[in-house]
Amino acid sequence: MVILYGLGSHSRNIATMYNIPMDEIEVIIDNNLSKCEPYYGMVISWEEYLRRRTEYRSTQLVIGAKYRFDEIREEVLASGLFGIADIIGIEKWAEENFVKRRLLGQYIDERECMNARILSERVGSISQKLLEEAMVLCSRYEALDRLPKGGRVAEIGVAYGDFSKEILTKMKPEKFYAVDLFCESVGFWNNGLFEESQMTHYEWYADRFSDYISSGTLIMEKGFSWDVMERFPDCYFDYIYLDAAHDYASVEKDIIQIVKKIKQGGIIQFNDYTFQEGYGVIPAVNRMIKEMNAKVLYYCLSPNGYADLVVQMRKQEL
């Protein structure tokens, strides 16, 4: 397992750029938590890491930020916790990793692609045929008013539950699965919501939706989205809202599961269909639409440019 140290809010993008498998990252350490965005569910401070060390599995590799690598190295060595672990700077790691992978012929071209826009050009745009019935909506909430009600629904990446509340109220699902890492760490939630209440993310969300949980409507699923989704039967969901990790590699991993788990004719709403912050949602979603011949229903505008795209899977033709 790998620890990323000191790469702050760029950790996810750096992991994608430098080909660090997301599911091998045990934890992201950064002492300037205010810089890390809330969805970096794995970010904790070094102090917290030391306090909770026993909860983590064995770390074989610590990858540190370049600009304060010596400091990080000293801190890590002084802790005496990483007997056999390698401590390496990100640049060095990238260099070795790229060379190694190239030699082994395992180099994944897309991971090399540091810029989601370049990748998107390679994937190409969605054909007009798949967009013919699409509508532009004023917001992502507007889509919920227009989608079929009831059924089995999953929201992947729920955070504080603000959008969960909208889905529950507007779509009235029979079953609603709330999927999130629900990390035990409270530090990265900068608004102090959880700290004030002395609750973990999991407890906080469970408390907010306790009525839906006790009625059996809402089920909380903790873990990496792709692992959680894999456990459901195929063709299970009527509607899935995806808003978890936003780097290309993670979205692609989520999509691999989602297209198996959604029913024929089911609907998927992708949040953050944007290039902002280097997000890789656009190329991953466009690729899926093209490969699955899925129909675009709505493009939902957002004042800050973080649009949603709503697509419907094809029903198998007899």
Ligand X SMILES: C[S@@+](CC[C@H](N)C(=O)[O-])C[C@H]1O[C@@H](n2cnc3c(N)ncnc32)[C@H](O)[C@@H]1O
Interacting residue ranges for ligand X, rule: CB under 6 A: 39, 41, 155, 157-159, 162-163, 179-181, 224-225, 243-245, 250
How far is 147 from 172, CA to CA, in rounded Å? 11
Of the pair 40, 93, the CB lying nearest ligand X is at: 40
Of the pair 134, 159, the CB lying nearest ligand X is at: 159
Specify which residues 63 forms β-bridges with.
4, 88
Q: Which residue is nearest to ligand X (CB)?
A: 157
Of the pair 63, 181, the CB lying nearest ligand X is at: 181
Of the pair 162, 317, the CB lying nearest ligand X is at: 162
How far is 310 from 16, CA to CA, in rounded Å? 25
Q: What is the CA radius of gyration of the chain?
A: 20
∠ Cα 20 256 120 (to 5°): 70
Q: Least distance in Å: CB of 223 to ligand X?
A: 7
Q: Least distance in Å: CB of 231 to ligand X?
A: 13
Sheet with 135-137: list strands edge to edge: 135-137, 295-300, 308-312, 262-270, 237-242, 152-156, 175-180, 218-222
How far is 63 from 94, CA to CA, in rounded Å? 10
Q: Least distance in Å: CB of 293 to ligand X?
A: 27
Of the pair 11, 250, the CB lying nearest ligand X is at: 250
Q: Least distance in Å: CB of 176 to ligand X?
A: 13
Q: Least distance in Å: CB of 42 to ligand X?
A: 8
Of the pair 225, 312, the CB lying nearest ligand X is at: 225
Residue 87 tokens read as 């401590």
Q: Are 22 and 245 in contact (CB under 8 A)?
A: yes
Q: Least distance in Å: CB of 144 to ligand X?
A: 12
How far is 311 from 139, CA to CA, in rounded Å? 15
Cα–Cα distance list, 127 to 4, 123, 132, 286 (Å): 40, 12, 9, 10
Of the pair 35, 290, the CB lying nearest ligand X is at: 35
**Contacts of residue 282, Cβ cutoff 8 Å, sequence gap at least 6:** 116, 120, 273, 274, 275
Q: Least distance in Å: CB of 17 to ligand X?
A: 17
